[in-house]
C-alpha cells in the first residue's frame, strides 16, 4: 500500500490531538507558581492514578496539602472522573472539592461543565491527568491546556488496561519523534 505525504500529515495531525502541552512526574509538581506563570486560575484534574492510586479510596496527606496550597493561592480545582458518583464523592466531599463523576471523557461535556461552573475562560484552565486517551485528548478537544502525569501505580482497572495498550503505542511514537520525553 502506498501512502502520500497528505496521508502522513493527516496521521500526524490526528496523533497530535493526544499530545499534552506539558508533562510532569506527579500532580504535586503542578504548583501555584507553575500555574500562575501560565495565567492559570483553575485546575480540572482526573482522580484515579492522577491524584491517588485507582484502588485507593481517600486522599493522601500529600494530596490534601496540594489542594490546600492551591486553594490558598486562589486556584480553583474541580475533579472530573469517569468513575462512579460513589467513588468520586467519597474522595471529593471530605475535601470540599467540586466534582463531576461519570464524565464520559474524552467527550467535551464534563470539561465544558467544569469550565462553566468554575466561571473561568479556557485560557485560565488546565487539565491534569494520567491518560492520553481520556484526559489529554478530552482536554485538547475542549481547547484547554493539558498536563500529562505519570500514573501513580502501574496497575489499572479493567477498561483502563485496554486504553493503556493503545496509549503505549502513541507514547512510543511521541518519544521516537522527540515530541515527548516519557519513560515506560
- Rounded Cα distance, 67 and 96, in Å: 10
Question: Where are the domains positioned within the chain?
Answer: 17-154
pLDDT at 7: 46
CA-based nearest residue to 126, from 171, 69, 114: 114
**Per-residue pLDDT tens digits of the chain, which is 184 residues long:** 555 555 445 656 777 788 999 999 999 999 999 999 999 999 999 999 999 998 888 999 999 999 999 999 999 999 999 999 999 999 999 999 999 999 999 999 999 999 999 999 999 999 999 999 899 999 999 999 999 999 887 765 556 666 767 777 777 777 877 777 765 5
| Closest residue by Cα to residue 129 from 141, 147, 145 | 147
Instruction: Give pTM, 2 decimals.
Output: 0.85
* Residue 64 confidence (pLDDT): 97
pLDDT at 181: 75
Instruction: Round to whole Å and give the CA distance between 90 and 148.
Output: 24
DSSP-derived secondary structure letter, 130: S
Q: Which fold has domain 17-154?
A: Rossmann fold (3.40.50)
Amino acid at each position: 500500500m502506498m501512502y502520500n505525504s497528505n496521508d502522513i500529515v493527516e496521521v500526524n495531525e490526528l496523533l497530535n490531538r493526544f499530545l499534552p502541552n506539558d508533562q510532569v512526574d506527579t500532580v504535586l509538581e503542578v504548583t501555584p507558581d507553575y500555574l500562575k506563570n501560565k495565567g492559570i486560575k483553575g485546575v480540572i484534574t482526573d482522580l484515579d492514578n492522577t491524584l491517588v492510586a485507582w484502588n485507593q479510596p481517600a486522599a493522601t496527606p500529600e494530596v490534601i496539602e496540594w489542594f490546600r496550597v492551591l486553594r490558598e493561592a486562589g486556584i480553583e480545582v474541580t475533579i472530573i472522573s469517569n468513575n462512579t458518583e460513589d467513588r468520586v464523592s467519597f474522595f471529593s466531599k471530605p475535601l470540599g472539592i467540586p466534582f463531576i463523576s461519570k464524565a464520559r471523557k474524552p467527550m467535551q461535556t464534563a470539561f465544558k461543565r467544569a469550565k462553566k461552573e468554575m466561571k473561568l475562560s479556557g485560557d485560565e484552565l488546565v487539565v491534569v491527568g494520567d491518560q492520553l486517551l481520556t484526559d489529554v485528548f478530552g482536554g485538547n478537544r475542549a481547547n484547554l491546556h493539558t498536563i500529562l502525569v505519570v500514573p501513580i501505580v502501574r496497575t489499572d482497572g479493567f477498561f483502563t488496561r485496554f486504553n493503556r495498550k493503545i496509549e503505549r503505542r502513541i507514547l512510543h511514537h511521541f518519544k521516537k519523534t522527540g515530541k515527548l520525553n516519557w519513560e515506560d
